[in-house]
Amino acid sequence: MHDVTSGRRHVNDLIMLTACVLSALALFVLFGNRKAGGMIRISIGKAPDAATCDYSLDEDCFVSVSNDDLGLEVREFDRLEEALKYADEAAKDDLRDVNVIEIRNHGAHVLYANCPDGTCISTGTVSKTGQTICCLPHEVIVT
């Protein structure tokens, strides 16, 4: 006699294996195929009036963004010490929002922010299309 349950088990195993392979392929297509970005955009303020600055990920630098009711100031520095010195001076006035973004090794991350929560600092590095760092208290977005 032929055992029908072993044949069904074999078919069920094949169906399960096919589903796993297709799921893995779909996840790779959706998330694993992101391209490294060639540019980083820093947006400051609320849309649609946000100011934007674009930087190449091929050139290492430090960008200091300071903002208050009197206006916005964005400065680029070659050395970390200069950027932090400028940030410390700008942050002495408690009404001034300050962020320092480091662009290095084809990625960008927030090194310094005088916002209350520091979530933007702990977000880490963005280097691929679709990744974002947000500093909501300062209205700074890095994409």
What CA–CA distance (Å, rounded) separates 65 from 73?
6
Q: Print burial letters for 96-129: b (CB count within 10 Å at least 16), e (below 16).
A: bbbbbbbbeebbbbbbbbbbeeeebbebebbbee
User: What type of residue is 140?
Assistant: V
With tokens 């032929």, the residue in question is 2
Contact 98, 90 (CB under 8 A): yes
pTM (global) more than 0.85: no
pLDDT in tens, 64-116: 998 887 788 899 999 999 999 988 888 886 678 999 999 999 999 999 999 99
pLDDT in tens, 44-70: 988 888 899 999 999 999 999 988 877
**Residue 12 token pair:** 């069920």
